[in-house]
Amino acid sequence: MSSKQTANKALQILVKSNKGFHLVSKKEHGVLLVAFARYNKVLYGQAYDLIKCKKKINFENEKEVVDNLRHITIYEIKSTNRKDMSKDFKNYFFDLTTAELLVAQNLGKQFKFAFVNTTTKQFIELSLEEVFAKSKKLYPKMAIRF
């Protein structure tokens, strides 16, 4: 299974978990950008995969989103299909992009990472602080595309 297939499967696992995860449409994405900008918060589209909301919201209605922004958490998914992965994802190796890091820092408690094992369907949710606290090693890198 390719990494894109694994990522798509992880998205579906979270959405079907009945825990409030929502896959954002293009229109909803635009509404979210504006809503977060109203509070001087940056939401970069390539730095998140889905959202989680504590209550039912019409994400196409800007006023409703702005009024309920405190109930919305932005999620970046990191996925694996390894059968031998532990429940706490110990020794899991993943990339964290600069965009993800900056958005996570800017949004604070409104940004989390969902680590999903697509084989076992288990997942954990961690804040940026929890990711760094759990980290054993950090490998800085730069990726360039022409």
Q: Over the stretch 70-86, which tens digit does the pLDDT of each residue have?
A: 999 999 999 999 999 99
As a whole number, mean pLDDT of residues 124-145 equals 90
Looking at residue 44, its pLDDT comes to: 84
Is residue 45 pLDDT above 80, yes or no? Answer: no
- Give every strand in the sheet of 72-80, ordered side by side: 21-22, 50-53, 72-80, 111-117, 122-126
Residue-range definition of the domain harbouring residue 23 = 3-134
Give percent of the chain with pLDDT exceeding 70.
99
Q: Is residue 64 within 8 Å of residue 45, measured between CB atoms?
A: no
Percent of the chain with pLDDT strictly greater than 90: 79
Residue 85 domain flag: yes
Q: What pTM value is reported for the model?
A: 0.91
**Residues 43-64 as b or e (16 or more Cβ within 10 Å = b):** beeebbbbbbeeeebebeeeee
- Find tokens 């929890």 and name the residue: 130
More confident residue, 143 or 120: 120
Domain presence at residue 143: no
> Is residue 48 in some structural domain?
yes
pLDDT over threshold 70, residue 1: no
Residue 124 has pLDDT above 90, yes or no: yes
The residue-averaged pLDDT of 20-33 equals 94
**pLDDT at 123 exceeding the cut of 70:** yes
Residue 139 lies in a domain: no
Residue 32 in domain: yes
Question: What is the rounded average pLDDT of the residues 91-101?
Answer: 91
In a domain, 84, yes or no: yes
The answer to whether residue 141 sits within a structural domain is: no
- Domain for residue 29, yes or no? yes
> How many domains does the structure of the chain reveal?
1
pLDDT above 70 for 88: yes
Distance CA 44, CA 46 (A): 6
